[in-house]
Amino acid sequence: MATCVRLTLFCVLTFVARAADDVVATAVAYAKAHPQGDVPASFVATDYQGDLRDLPIGVFDSGVGGLTVLEAIKAHDRHHNLTGEDGADGVPDFAGERFVYFGDQANMPYGNYSAVGRTGFLRELILRDALFLLGRRQASGDKPPVKAIVIACNTATAYGLEDIRAAVKSWGIPIIVIGVVEAGAQGLAETADGAQGGVAVLATVGTCASNAYPKAIAKVTGRPVRQLGSASLAAAIEGDPSVKTPIRDIIRADVGAFLKSAAADGAAPIDTLMLGCTHYPLVADEITAAFAYWREQPAADGRKLYAKLVVPQLKQVNPAAWTAEALWRSLHAAKMMAVAKTTSGDQFYISIPNPQWKGVSLAADGTLAYEYKYGRSEGQIGREDTINVPMTADKLPGATAGLVRDKLPLTWRSLQGAR
């Protein structure tokens, strides 16, 4: 009987592993079968032969949150541009580079797919994002291939980093792949400054479900980690019309519930916040204010229940800055920094629903209907129920545009000049 149980468990685990491998294998085979890059989810194989140094850097996210990572890359200045030595020289480290940004807004938020049992489809979406950056095909003409891919999305990093690296290896192309989770954990370790208290990871529900941050942080430090997963904050920042609650109220309610649970469990005092969603740096001040509010909020008997749970001066770790450093270290080590001066600007793309795709279902506001969006399964890597089009400043929702304009000035300037 025990042998049967072990064999059954072995079969189940083998099936799960095989299913996981199939997502990557399908994407790998599909792209290899289309070396001319003439279909969705493919690239021109010959683009990755020869000198790649002057190709742009690709950055993708499930929406516009990854623009915070792009801003951090553009502003990064920790090295001398001529010698590569440590120390700012007043010139951004990536001043000679250009970028291609993609936000898969039609399919966001990525954090919700795992909650409805669609992890396989999420992984397929993430591989499609990478293939879009690698390829030239998009709805209104050509785009350049890229020499590096930055996964500027915590959920996409958690569920797709190893998939993309495996696919790149199978394709035999020398592409650098960087994810924000590893970089954020490294940043936590390098900037601890003696802090040894609890770390609160603020992220989407999907990122929290993956346990990517606790695992990554455990590799570099033994500090206790507690996660706060929000189901709606990223979408609210994105300007999703289905989210009616104001951003400040979402944050305050999420933080309140988080602290109540932490206090009940006797959690260690929290002294560091990890902004584990790329959207969250846009509302970092509001997040800090919410923790301060609950720290001082008295209960009915006058006691401040969370005064000892939250330190007065919370430290924030923004993985975006550390992603920029990880990107620089990788490109510099591989001798893949740009060498030619370019007058070409950055390019920005965003996905939108494709009403011409057979079977697609749209909501009243023109977005993908919820049941359709979260009812899809993997196995159709070339599907085109969404299409990718140039993103310009005027296509951003008003509130989102204001956040980008006010808090991401370098990216806003680049976005305004995008075609």
CB 316 within 8 A of CB 288: yes
Tokens of residue 253, six digits: 């309610």
> What is the widest separation between alpha-carbon atoms in the chain?
71
Q: What are phi and psi of 89, to 5 degrees?
A: -120, 10
Q: Reply yes or no on whether 11 is catalytic.
A: no
Tokens of residue 340, six digits: 């030619």
Give the strand pairing for 386-390 and 347-353.
antiparallel
How many Å from the N-terminal Cα to the C-terminal Cα in the chain? 66
Give the strand pairing for 57-61 and 148-151.
parallel
Give bridge partners of residue 102 from the DSSP assignment: 60, 349
Instruction: Return the ∠ at Cα 113 (arms to 109 and 115), rounded to 5°.
Output: 115
Distance, CA of 323 to CA of 293 (rounded, Å):
30
Give bridge partners of residue 270 from the DSSP assignment: 198, 310
Distance, CA of 367 to CA of 398 (rounded, Å):
17
Distance, CA of 215 to CA of 207 (rounded, Å):
12
Residues in the chain: 419
Residue 290: C-alpha distances to residues 247, 259, 294, 318, 379 (Å): 11, 11, 6, 17, 42
Q: Reply yes or no on whether 153 is catalytic.
A: yes
Q: Which residues are catalytic?
A: 153, 277
